[in-house]
Amino acid sequence: MKRWANLIVLIGASALSAQCTTPHVPSLDVPSCTKGTGRVQYDKSVPNGESKFPLTQVDLCYTSSDIKITFTAFEEVNFFYNASQTTNDPLYEYEVMEAFIYHGTSDPSSYLEFEVSPNNVTWQAFIYNPSKVRAAGAPFDNGQLSTPIVDGLVTSTMLDKTAGIWISNASIPLGLFNVDNGAAKGTKWRMNFFRTIVSPDTFPDQGLGAWNPTNMSNFHMTPFFGNVFFV
């Protein structure tokens, strides 16, 4: 009995210390596309959500084979991209919307990074980030998916320059995450969503925004990924 009591005290203490270092993360329920979408909106900057950021919306749902994401950038001013860039070029130096996606509940060290730019060009790779915060000197690598359309990562993009709106739809195969056809319901995920803004005049100094802002100007901090439930 005494031994159990000690064990419970220990568990209590470690849960408490985890609470002090683990950032609060938001949660989102995502339905099947036949039922609707799960929506997040954010308007806070990285780091720490300190400043106002242009309103950004992400809608998600799942089909039997794919995650469907609609990224909506409101209050978009520059629609700024480098027209010479193609698939997997450093789009992130300009304006992009991004999703970081992991199938599981822990803070991941490997996850998909997916980006789309206002001219419908994409960047996609599995990241290896064993420090989980892209610590200086720690390994950090990526394995790029170089034929996104063949791989099933398909986008479509619409710009409304008058209204200041940029919308990109993305389809991301569940198979990339070892979720078999028809098996998405009930799966649990960690994700974060980001947007970069920059104008020709301020390039390369970007504004950064996130669903759950990280505490440094660094998106690759997985303890900040939100909880996402496919219901």
Ligand X SMILES: *[C@@H]1O[C@H](CO)[C@@H](O)[C@H](O)[C@H]1NC(C)=O
40 binds ligand X (CB under 6 A): no
Strand locations in 63-177 (E): 66-73, 97-103, 110-116, 122-128, 141-144, 154-160, 165-173
Q: Establish if 119 lies at the interface with ligand X (CB under 6 A).
A: no
Torsion sign across C-alpha atoms 118, 119, 122, 123: negative
- Spatial contact of 44 and 213, defined as CB atoms under 8 Å apart: yes
**Of 45, 72, 155, 187, the one binding ligand X by CB under 6 A:** 155
* Omega before 204 within 30 of 0, i.e. cis: yes
Q: Least distance (Å) from ligand X to the CB of residue 133?
A: 6
Interacting residue with ligand X among 25, 154, 165, 231 (CB under 6 A): 154
Strand bridging mode 27-30 / 38-44: unpaired
Beta strand extents in the chain (DSSP E only): 27-30, 38-44, 52-62, 66-73, 97-103, 110-116, 122-128, 141-144, 154-160, 165-173, 188-197, 207-210, 226-230
> Contact between 84 and ligand X (CB under 6 A)?
yes
Share of the chain residues as helix, strand and coil, in percent rounded to the nearest 5 = 15, 40, 45
- We find the least distance from the C-beta atom of residue 93 to ligand X, in angstroms, to be 7
Smallest distance, Å, CB 123 to ligand X?
12
How many other C-beta atoms can be found within 10 angstroms of the C-beta atom of residue 87? 16
Q: CB of 75: closest distance to ligand X in angstroms?
A: 18
Query: Residue 59 CB, nearest distance to ligand X (Å)?
Result: 9
CB of 108 to ligand X, least distance (A): 13
Q: Residue 156, interface with ligand X (CB under 6 A)?
A: yes
CA distance 62 to 161: 29
* Span near ligand X by CB under 6 A; candidates 2-10, 12-20, 81-89, 178-186: 81-89
DSSP state, 163? T
Residue with Cβ nearer ligand X (186 or 200): 200
Q: Which of residues 190-219 bind ligand X (CB under 6 A)?
A: 215
User: Smallest distance from the beta carbon of 221 to ligand X, in angstroms?
Assistant: 6
Q: Which of 32, 63, 110, 157 binds ligand X (CB under 6 A)?
A: 157
For position 37 contacting ligand X by CB under 6 A, the verdict is no
Count residues contacting ligand X (CB under 6 A)? 20
Single-letter residue type at 48: N
Residues found near ligand X in the complex (CB under 6 A): 21, 23, 70, 82, 84-85, 89, 120, 133, 149, 154-158, 167, 169, 215, 221, 223
